[in-house]
Amino acid sequence: MQDVISFSFSKVKIIVGFVVLTFFVLVFLVLLASSLFYGIPLGTISSIFFFSVCFLGWLDRYKVLRKYLQGLPALQLTPHSLIDNTNNISFAWKDVLDFKDVSVNTGKGGKSHSIAISLNNEADYLSLVQGWRTRLMAQLNRLVVGSPFSIETNTIKESRSTVLQSLNDFKNKYSHSR
């Protein structure tokens, strides 16, 4: 096994996600402008909630796009830690308990795939999370995938099974070393 493995971002997946979410945000802003200027009713709280979810998703895609343009790997496995550049956090192998493959239905047959990370001292890592949006996403992750920390495999070029196998191999090899 190699001492360091890097997984790269998928350029196509990142750009497509960013463009789609940009479209939804722009459509909502046009609807909002027409509502304000022409008195056309915008809708209910659900449309504002939909916009909020799309906007938070857009911010996340923008963050990932910036990381891709900086040339950073999406995920890096070293003998000491798992470095997740999509979420700006790293985990020491000794703190990782388990990985779980999670698929969440996103509607109309779509799925979002991620790998949930179980930690033995989750609170310590949650204290490292900075920014209200990142803390909110960690809490939403806990509700959806069972852990505040997960790796979104939809943005990684390599297959989900390859990433999961490498994570487990590194955890088994390095979790007992100090």
- The 10s digit of each residue's pLDDT in 28-83 is 777 777 766 666 666 655 666 666 666 666 666 677 667 767 778 888 999 999 99
**Domain ranges across the chain:** 11-69, 75-174
pLDDT at position 97, please? 93
Predicted pLDDT of residue 16: 73
Q: Write the pLDDT tens digit of every residue in 12-36.
A: 776 777 777 777 777 777 777 776 6
pLDDT for position 127: 84
Mean pLDDT estimate for the chain: 79
**Is there a contact between 82 and 73 (Cβ–Cβ < 8 Å)?**
no
Closest CA to 137 of 67, 87, 95: 87
Q: Of the candidates 104, 117, 102, 112, which has an alpha carbon nearest to the alpha carbon of residue 148? A: 117
Measured CA to CA, the distance from residue 42 to residue 36 in angstroms comes to: 9
Backbone angles phi, psi at 161, to 5 degrees: -65, -35
Among 51-55, 86-90, 91-95, 157-161, name the most confident range: 91-95
At 40 the pLDDT is: 60
Give the pLDDT score at 177. Answer: 59
Q: Which residue has the higher pLDDT, 136 or 55?
A: 136
